[in-house]
C-alpha cells in the first residue's frame, strides 16, 4: 500500500502547512478506518456512559458515577486512554475528509447534548418513582442509540447522518422535572 498524503491547507485550514504521511496499513493496524480516518475506540467514551445510565434504574447509587462523566473531544479521549496508536488516531482525525469530520463532529455534539440531558435525569433519581425513571431512561436510550449508530456508520463509511427525530415531548418531560 502506498502512502496517504493529506495536505493540511485543504483538509484542515487551522493545521500547519505540512503533509501528514501515513499508510493505509498503518491505519488498519491501529484499528483506524483508512477511508474516514476515524477510530471506533472513541465511541467507548459514550458506551461507558450508556452502560452506567442503564444501571441507574436498578442501582440509583450509580447516578453519582454517571454524573462524573464529561464530554470529551476526540483528541482528548485518545490523550486520556491507553490506546496504543493514540498519536496516529489524533493526527488521522485532523486529516479526515472534511465532510466526514464535520458530520461526525455534529453527531458527537448531539451525543454530548443527549448525555448531558440524561445526567439531568440522574441528578433527580431520588425524586422519581421507579416506573417514571425507567421510562425516562428508556426514552433517552432510544435517542442515544441511533446517534451512536450514526457515529459508527460515519467511522465505517456506511452512511451520512440523518436528522434526529423531534423529541420535544421527551424534552418537555425532562424540563418538567425541574419546574
Enclosing domain of residue 48 = 3-177
Quote the pTM value. Answer: 0.78
Q: For residue 143, give every residue at least 6 positions away whose Cβ sits within 8 Å of its Cβ, in sequence order, or none.
A: 114, 164, 165, 167, 170
If you search the block for the grid coordinates 502547512, which residue do you land on? 17
pLDDT of 1 strictly over 80: no
Percentage with pLDDT > 90 across the chain: 71
Q: Are 54 and 12 in contact (CB under 8 A)?
A: no
What pLDDT, on the 0 to 100 scale, is given for residue 148? 96
Query: Does 172 or 129 have the greater pLDDT score?
Result: 129
Q: How many domains does the chain have?
A: 1
Task: Name the residue among 73, 53, 77, 76 with its Cα closest to residue 65.
Answer: 53
Query: Does 72 or 167 have the greater pLDDT score?
Result: 72
What pLDDT, on the 0 to 100 scale, is given for residue 15? 43
| Mean pLDDT calculated for residue range 44-70 | 94
pLDDT digits (tens, 9 = 90+) for 129-163: 999 999 999 999 999 999 999 999 999 987 644 44
Percentage with pLDDT > 70 across the chain: 77
Cell numbers given for 10: 485543504
What pLDDT, on the 0 to 100 scale, is given for residue 172? 52
Give the pLDDT band of residue 19 (cuts 50, 70, 90): low
Backbone angles phi, psi at 102, to 5 degrees: -65, -50
Give the pLDDT band of residue 66 (cuts 50, 70, 90): very high
pLDDT of 113 strictly over 60: yes
**Average predicted confidence (pLDDT) for the chain:** 84
Backbone angles phi, psi at 19, to 5 degrees: -95, 140
Amino acid at each position: 500500500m502506498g502512502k496517504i498524503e493529506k495536505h493540511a491547507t485543504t483538509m484542515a485550514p487551522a493545521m500547519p502547512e505540512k503533509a501528514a504521511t501515513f499508510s493505509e496499513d498503518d491505519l488498519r493496524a491501529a484499528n483506524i478506518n483508512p477511508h474516514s480516518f476515524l477510530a471506533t475506540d472513541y465511541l467507548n467514551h459514550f458506551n461507558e456512559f450508556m452502560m452506567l445510565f442503564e444501571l441507574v434504574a436498578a442501582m440509583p447509587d450509580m447516578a453519582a458515577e454517571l454524573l462524573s462523566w464529561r464530554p470529551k473531544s476526540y483528541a482528548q479521549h485518545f490523550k486520556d486512554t491507553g490506546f496504543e496508536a493514540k498519536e496516529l488516531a489524533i493526527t488521522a482525525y485532523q486529516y479526515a475528509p472534511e465532510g466526514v469530520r464535520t458530520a461526525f463532529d455534529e453527531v458527537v455534539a448531539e451525543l454530548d447534548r443527549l448525555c448531558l440531558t440524561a445526567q439531568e435525569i440522574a441528578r433527580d433519581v431520588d425524586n422519581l418513582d421507579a416506573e417514571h425513571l425507567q421510562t425516562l431512561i428508556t426514552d433517552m436510550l432510544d435517542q442515544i442509540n441511533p446517534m451512536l449508530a450514526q457515529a459508527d456508520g460515519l467511522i465505517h463509511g456506511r452512511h451520512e447522518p440523518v436528522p434526529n427525530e423531534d423529541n420535544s415531548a421527551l424534552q418537555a418531560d425532562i424540563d418538567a422535572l425541574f419546574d
